[in-house]
Amino acid sequence: MRVIIAAAGTGGHINPGIAIANEIKMNEPDSEIVFIGTTRGIENELVPKANYKLKTINAFGIPRKISLENMKKFYRTIKSVSEAEKIIKEFKPDVVIGTGGYITLAVGRAAIKQNVPLVIHESNAFPGMAVKLLSKKASRVFVGFEDTKTRLKNKNNIIVTGTPTSVKPRNVSNEEKKKLKLSLGLNQDKPLVLFFGGSQGARSINNTLQDLLKEKKNDIYQIMWAVGINQYDDVKLDLEQFGISVNNVKNAKIVPYIYNMDEVMNASDLVVCRSGAMTITEVSILGKPAIFIPYPYATENHQEFNARVLESRDAAKIILDKDLNCDILDKTIRSIINDKNKLQQMSNNAKKIARFDVEKKIYREIKEVLK
């Protein structure tokens, strides 16, 4: 099978694409797969690390405000359809897969113009503009939530699959957890709280964590903190002003990005993070108790909607971004982290929400499209 996957910008778009690519390769090892992204996003790290080729076009998001700069970006995005067409003509794919975001709109339009079958995946409960515009012409629209179907006009080609991810459930022994903590320079016996705000980082979470470390509140638990590639240097400088080195923090390990998220999340006792669709998927599959801090500016406030699904099942707690501060975060962590019964109950409840074999379902549907 020859496949083009359009995925760019954030891990929430790129990682589902990689998970689908891996499933195709597992079933058809001779398949040739090329990703299309931009020169700006984290796809430039994630795609090569996953051993796939990346080609780039000069696409941007659809501007919601009129300005000279936005009009220039809109023009470049329209022009990028031709760039995508050129790649499609040269590569001659059997199918084009889009995983949402502005890159899917450009590459999806190019695929339709070239009469190449298009399938798209929408992870979020509220579909983005690209998926809305392309859904009628796509052969299949895979969605992560049942509710997404109600927000798309054409229902005939929609299939609820869940969200693809490379993160897989497995039983991690206490010995394995201790070894990972040791490799990170952390205490083998102290509970581990994993913090991350997506591939780009989350400013409010980072600011709160800096306050928490400055006040040395993390005495009964330890922290694994992925700051975000674009924010790491700023956080490093800020902590240094308080005499704290990112390479030597008591009860904490601070990194720009976690590439072995599967391993680290499996070994963690509690997760504190945003509530994008990919994160919801991973937390549910691994059965991890979570504290969600929904991104307040997400379209249709879909991150809070996602988080409420787990909160309503007693699998997670929510702290709204406007309420977030050092004391509230520390208090919420402490109310969970040392209660083993509560941790286990939240874990069991999270697993009940998970959807499994997502990639297999998507692969089977793609094969149906190509018959």
Q: Give the model's pLDDT for residue 91.
A: 98
Look-up of token digits 């990112």:
246
User: Could you tell me the maximum CA-CA distance found in the chain, to the nearest angstrom?
Assistant: 63
Look-up of token digits 């020859």:
2
Same fold, 2-165+356-370 and 174-353: yes
Q: What type of residue sits at position 184?
A: L
pLDDT in tens, 292-350: 999 998 877 889 988 998 999 999 999 999 999 999 999 999 999 989 999 999 999 99
CA atoms 140, 141, 146, 152: torsion sign: negative
% of the chain with per-residue pLDDT over 70: 96
CATH T-level fold of 2-165+356-370: Rossmann fold (3.40.50)
SS in 3 state form for 291-349? Answer: EECCCCCCHHHHHHHHHHHHHCCCCEEECCHHHCCHHHHHHHHHHHHCCHHHHHHHHHH
Q: Over 90: is that where the pLDDT of 143 sits? A: yes
DSSP annotation of 127 = -
Domain extents in the chain: 2-165+356-370, 174-353
Q: Is 371 exposed, middle or buried (0-12, 13-18, 19+ CB in 10 A)?
A: exposed
| Mean pLDDT, residues 133-140 | 94
Residue 174, CA distances (Å) to 171, 251, 361 in order: 10, 19, 33
CA distance linking residue 297 with residue 364, whole number of Å: 35
Q: Give the model's pLDDT for residue 124.
A: 84
CATH T-level fold of 174-353: Rossmann fold (3.40.50)
Q: Chain-centre distance of CA 1, in angstroms?
A: 26
CA distance linking residue 10 with residue 188, whole number of Å: 32
Q: Give the model's pLDDT for residue 313.
A: 92
Q: What type of residue sits at position 163?
A: T
Residue 129, CA distances (Å) to 24, 98, 311, 352 in order: 27, 13, 28, 31
pLDDT in tens, 3-53: 999 999 877 889 999 999 999 999 999 999 999 999 988 899 999 999 999
Q: Give the model's pLDDT for residue 71.
A: 61
When the pLDDT of each residue in the chain is averaged and rounded to a whole number, the result is: 90
pLDDT in tens, 149-186: 888 887 789 999 999 987 777 778 888 888 888 888 88
Any bridge partners for residue 54, and if so which?
35
Which phi and psi angles does 175 have, rounded to 5°?
A: -65, -40
Any bridge partners for residue 17, and if so which?
none
CA atoms 307, 309, 312, 315: torsion sign: negative
Q: Is 248 exposed, middle or buried (0-12, 13-18, 19+ CB in 10 A)?
A: exposed
Q: Copy the structure tokens of residue 99.
A: 């995983």
Q: Give the model's pLDDT for residue 171.
A: 78
* Residues 21 and 5 sit within 8 Å (Cβ to Cβ): yes
Helices (H), the chain: 11-27, 43-49, 68-91, 102-113, 129-134, 174-183, 203-214, 232-240, 261-267, 277-286, 302-311, 326-337, 340-353, 358-370
CA distance linking residue 58 with residue 43, whole number of Å: 14
| 3-class SS of residue 365 | helix
Q: Is 150 exposed, middle or buried (0-12, 13-18, 19+ CB in 10 A)?
A: exposed
Residue 165, CA distances (Å) to 14, 61, 84, 235, 271 in order: 10, 24, 26, 29, 17
Between helices 11-27 and 358-370, what is the axis angle to 10°? Answer: 70
% of the chain with per-residue pLDDT over 90: 63
CA distance linking residue 103 with residue 80, whole number of Å: 9
